[in-house]
Amino acid sequence: MSLINNIGSLVGMFTQPDQNEESKQLATRAGVDTKDFGRVASVGLPLLLQAINRNNQSTNGLESFNQALNQHQTKNNYDSLNQFAQHVDTDDGDKIVSHILQDKQQTVNTGLADRLGVNPDTVKKVLAVLAPLAIKYLADQKRENKLNPQEVQKETEAATREATTQFHAFSKENKKDYGVIGDLLGLGDHTNETTENEKDHGLLGGILDIFK
């Protein structure tokens, strides 16, 4: 059984970190304030998925990622998200983030920190618990649905869209508290004429431009 059934609900959980034990546990594991964890995680999960997605566009990148998922399918099989939150390996998580972001990790940490009003080290710590969570979700999807590499690529694309869309919906409903983060993500209201390229700006697009 998958540890996480819906990546969108996970983002929704992060946008309300004080209202669930899992977010509090993840914040504690990361060693950061719960509110700061929620701010960074709400943006950080879509960002990591976007970065994975971009890496998977190359044959070598996709092959490497598929092998990584194979290795994680039987690794750390937790019974619940709460158990995962209590025991997630942050050292392993930091290595995963480094692999995903490569030489851009420090730039991403600084960019997110500047825009969210937190310390770069806070961003680093939060991403280190988010990365294993993202990998665990995709590894479970691969195992349960017997996905081949091309299907893994499509699943990652779908998860990225779902995570971003969920945050968009929540930020619109909670404009007072989360509108600023939504605007930073480039997820504000758009007209029907807005192109996909125009939507991919703000914090998420700006940070990811460094991968081009």
What's this model's pTM, rounded to 2 decimal places? 0.82
Rounded Cα–Cα distance for residues 170 and 70 (Å): 33
What's the confidence (pLDDT) of residue 97?
96
Look at 69-83, 128-142, 154-168 and tell me which has the smallest mean pLDDT. 69-83
Q: Distance between CA atoms of 24 and 64, rounded to whole angstroms?
A: 32
- Whether 178 shows a pLDDT value over 70: the answer reads no
Q: Quick check: 112 pLDDT over 50?
A: yes
What mean pLDDT is predicted for residues 173-186?
A: 49
- Check pLDDT > 60 for residue 116: yes
pLDDT tier at 162 (50, 70, 90 boundaries)? Answer: very high
Q: Where are the domains of the chain?
A: 7-211
Give the pLDDT confidence score for residue 75 in this predicted structure: 63
Would you state the torsion angle of the CA atoms of residues 17, 95, 51, 67, taken in this order, to the nearest 10 degrees? -120
Asked if pLDDT for residue 210 goes beyond 70, the answer is: no
CB atoms within 10 A of CB 63: 12
Total number of residues shown for the chain: 212
Q: Which of 37, 30, 47, 32 is nearest to 13 (CA)?
A: 37
